[in-house]
Every structure is written in structure tokens, then in C-alpha cells.
Structure 1
Amino acid sequence: MKCLRIFATPDGESHFDEIEIPTNQVSVHPDAVPFDVTASYPASRVRITRIPAGMRQVEWHTVPDRCLTVRLDGAVEYETSDGEVRTVGAGEFVLIEDTHGKGHLSRHSQEAQTVIWISLPNGLEEPA
């Protein structure tokens, strides 16, 4: 399963990467068809935010801790300090790890959006 990632290098510049989250075929019930499931990752906090319609937030910013964002509706355009731009829509998720440095820009779509923020102290590294 692919996941977009925003991270900072030691010099504080932010960049995009795509990572592969390993999955296994799992049947969650004896009569169910198996489907892709990731490992369980430790999370320290879950927040749900409602971003109001028309909010653009175009200042450079970092995140306080590594988090996986899951966008339920709307879209956002991210820009990293190297100038690369990516758009993330409803149903997509992003691992945001630029906790230091210049950070990234977020340009939200005009409609209201709901986003789930899952703080992951270890990121998406393979759990022990």
C-alpha cells in the first residue's frame, strides 16, 4: 500500500517521498474473503478536525509530531521547501514527518474538510 510522505532533511528542508506500507492478506472472519491489512502501529493520539470552507493556510509550518493524516473529504495542495507540489484528495492519507526546519505549505480546497490526525511516535516503521 503506497503512502505519500513529507519529511525534513537534517538541513531543515522538506521533501516528498512515497513509501510502501507492507500488507498481508487477512480474513477477519472465517467466512470473509481475505483482504490487505497492515501491521498494527502504536499511536499516541487521534484528533479529528473540521477545516472550515475557504480556509487557505499558506504560511510555512511544521507538525508537532509524526502523524498520519486521513482526508475524508475535500482536498489539500502541499508544497515542500524544494518547490515540489502534490495534491491530496478525499480517501488519501499522508505521513507528515517534518517536525523541524522550514516545514511545508498547505493550500486547502474551498469546501469544508474533515481530516483525521493519528500521532505515530515511531512513524510507519515496522512495529516490534
Structure 2
Amino acid sequence: MKCLRIYADAEGESHFDEVELPTTQVSVHPDAAPFDVTASYPASRVRFTHIPAGMREVAWHRVPEPVLTVRLDGSVEYETSDGDRRHVPAGSFVLVEDTHGKGHLSRHSPEAQTVIWISLPNGLSAPVP
């Protein structure tokens, strides 16, 4: 399973990357078909955000800590300081780790949006054993 990632390099420039999340097949019941599940990752808090309709562009900004954003509805276009842009539709999740440097730009779709922010102190690099 792949996850889009926004991160900052040592010089503070933000970039996109993709993180491969290894999965295993799990069946929750003997009669159920198995499905892919990742490892568990430690999370310190969960926030639910409502972005109002009409909020189009959010100036360059950084996140205070690594967060996994889960977009429930609406869409966003992210732009990194290297000029790359990515469209993120509803149903997508993005690991945002640019805690220093120039940050990223967010351009939101015109409708209201609901986004879940999951704080991941170690990002997606240290699953719980």
C-alpha cells in the first residue's frame, strides 16, 4: 500500500515522496475473505477538522509534528517549495512531515471538507511490535 508523503530536506525545501506500507493478509473470521492490513503505528492524538466552503488557498505553512491526514470529502492540491503539485481527492491519506523549512501550500476545493489529522510522533517509520 502506498502513502503520499510531504517532507522537508536538510535545506528546508519541501518535496513529495511515496512511502510503501507493507501489508499482510488478515481474515477477521474463518468465513471472511482476507484483506490487506498494515502494521500498527503509535499515534499521540487524533483531531477532526472542518474546512469551510470557500477556503481556497492556505499560504505557505508547516506542520508542528508529523501527521497523517485522512481526507473524508472534498479535495486539495498541495504544492511543495520545489514547485511540484499533487491533487489529493476524497478518500486519500497523506503523511505530512515538513516540520521545518519553507513548508507547503494547500489549495482546497470550493466545497466544505472534513479531514482527520492523526499525530504520528515517529511518522510511519516505526511500527509497534
User: Is 1:98 paired with 2:98?
Assistant: yes
Mapping of 1:39-54 within 5 angstroms? 39-54=39-54
Percent sequence identity is 79
Moved over 2 A (4+): none
Q: Distance in 2 between matches of 1:50 and 1:29?
A: 36
- Work out the number of aligned pairs and report it: 128
Residues 71-98 of structure 1, C-alpha deviations (whole Å, 9 max, x = no match)? 0000000000000000100000000000
The gaps in structure 1 that reach 5 residues or longer are: none
Hey, what does 2:8 align to over in structure 1? 8
Hey, what does 2:31 align to over in structure 1? 31
RMSD over equivalenced CA pairs, Å: 0.9
Residues 43-73 of structure 1, C-alpha deviations (whole Å, 9 max, x = no match)? 0010010100010233100001000000000
What TM-score comes out, normalization by structure 2 length? 0.96
Q: Distance in 2 between matches of 1:35 and 1:69?
A: 22
Q: Distance in 2 between matches of 1:64 and 1:126?
A: 19
**Deviation (angstroms), 1:126:** 3.7
Structure 2 residue identity aligned to 1:91:
G
Hey, what does 1:110 align to over in structure 2? 110
SS in 1 for 2:46: strand
The gaps in structure 2 that reach 5 residues or longer are: none
SS in 2 for 1:59: strand
User: Is 1:59 paired with 2:66?
Assistant: no
SS in 1 for 2:58: coil
Q: Distance in 2 between matches of 1:97 and 1:28?
A: 33
